[in-house]
């Protein structure tokens, strides 16, 4: 979460670039990869997620209260090896982002210094003053540690969706309270290093597809960030697909009263020969058969 709250009151975005029906960003190399996303659910579903014993068995799941910067929030987290999802209930976040149907997606680089390249790419695409920020984290002892550097496109107004890019700080990896792993290569700021290996003890491995319903305005305002990150952007009937090689984010363009997190598809650590359907509030999680699970969120 953390960065979406900064959208309100931001400066005006730069000029938007023309787009083709199917395109890939002009960056020489892919710089960004899907990190996590969040959705604000109705209260009934959020409470059901929070208290679900099935989710605790299915994946590396936790309910955690986090202090980052000047904000404190309670999230419901489902972690994979490189990706995760964060779920809130209506009213859990401050301001406009507390509304049912609000959502966001965060991307991150795998190599230290690549976020700076993304920032330069935004400027090349007409975003004259990208919104750059530092996020800190307090582990509960009042001592803040630099958590990640972030960048987002400043907007004067948005409906319910936003994005940001984030690069984990070396100070965070060095802090034993972070419980992160050692570097696997020079400049390793990867998602796999950041996330714990607890996914190995469960069935869920990673998020392979996340589907959002967003307004046209919100989507158009965020596309330059995906382009600057070298992501594979494909314009399809009714919306846009953004691919990073592991996770596809599907954006369906809808009216403002239809927005929200719609569906998550997950890869499993092993194939199963059964089909299990779990109803969680106003959502349905179907596991198997095979090596995938699909979690669909219904509007109450």
130 compared with 71, residue with greater pLDDT = 130
Mean pLDDT value across the chain: 91
Q: How far apart are CA 286 and CA 292, in angstroms?
A: 9
Kindly report, residue by residue over 258-272, the tens digit of the pLDDT.
Answer: 999 999 999 999 999
Two structure tokens written together for 261: 């997190």
Residues 6 or more apart whose CB falls under 8 angstroms from that of 208 comprise 246, 247, 248, 265, 266, 267, 292
pLDDT at residue 11 tops 90: no
Kindly report, residue by residue over 142-179, the tens digit of the pLDDT.
Answer: 899 999 999 999 999 999 999 999 999 999 999 999 99
Q: How far apart are CA 292 and CA 14, in angstroms?
A: 40
Which whole number is the average pLDDT over 20-43? 75
Q: How confident is the model at residue 300 (pLDDT cuts 50, 70, 90)?
A: low
pLDDT at residue 25 tops 80: no
Question: Which of helix, strand or coil describes residue 101?
Answer: coil
Q: How confident is the model at residue 290 (pLDDT cuts 50, 70, 90)?
A: very high
**Measured CA angle at 217 (ends 251, 26), to 5 deg:** 65
Q: How far apart are CA 271 and CA 197, in angstroms?
A: 19
Residues 6 or more apart whose CB falls under 8 angstroms from that of 184 comprise 190, 192, 193
pLDDT at residue 14 tops 80: no
Two structure tokens written together for 75: 């999230």
Please answer whether residues 3 and 164 qualify as being in contact, where contact means their C-beta atoms are separated by less than 8 angstroms. yes
pLDDT at residue 134 tops 70: yes
Which whole number is the average pLDDT over 87-96? 93
Kindly report, residue by residue over 228-256, the tens digit of the pLDDT.
Answer: 999 999 999 999 999 999 999 999 999 99
């Amino acid at each position: 979460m953390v960065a979406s709250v900064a959208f309100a009151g931001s400066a005006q975005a730069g000029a938007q670039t023309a787009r083709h029906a199917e395109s890939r960003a002009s960056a020489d190399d892919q710089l960004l990869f899907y990190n996590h996303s969040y959705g604000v659910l109705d209260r009934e579903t959020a409470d059901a997620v929070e208290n679900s014993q099935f989710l605790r068995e299915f994946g590396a799941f936790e309910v955690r209260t986090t202090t980052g910067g000047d904000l404190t929030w309670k999230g419901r987290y489902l972690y994979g090896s490189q990706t995760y999802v964060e779920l809130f209930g209506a009213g859990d976040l401050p301001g406009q982002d507390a509304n049912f149907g609000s959502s966001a997606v965060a991307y991150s680089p795998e190599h230290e210094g690549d976020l700076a390249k993304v920032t330069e790419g935004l400027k090349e695409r007409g975003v004259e003053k990208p919104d750059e920020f530092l996020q800190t984290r307090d582990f509960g002892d009042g001592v803040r540690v630099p958590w990640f550097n972030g960048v987002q496109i400043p907007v004067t107004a948005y409906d319910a969706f936003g994005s940001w890019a984030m690069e984990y700080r070396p100070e965070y990896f060095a802090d034993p309270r972070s419980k992160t792993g050692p570097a696997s290569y020079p400049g390793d700021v990867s998602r796999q290093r950041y996330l714990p290996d607890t996914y190995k003890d469960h069935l869920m491995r990673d998020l392979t597809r996340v589907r959002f319903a967003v307004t046209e305005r919100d989507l158009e305002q965020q596309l330059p960030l995906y382009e600057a990150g070298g992501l594979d952007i494909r314009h399809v009937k009714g919306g846009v697909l953004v691919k990073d090689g592991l996770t596809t984010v599907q954006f369906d363009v809808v009216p403002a009263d239809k927005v929200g997190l719609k569906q998550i598809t997950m890869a499993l650590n092993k194939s199963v020969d059964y089909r299990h359907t779990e109803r969680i509030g106003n959502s349905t999680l179907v596991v198997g058969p095979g090596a995938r699970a699909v979690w669909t969120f219904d509007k109450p």
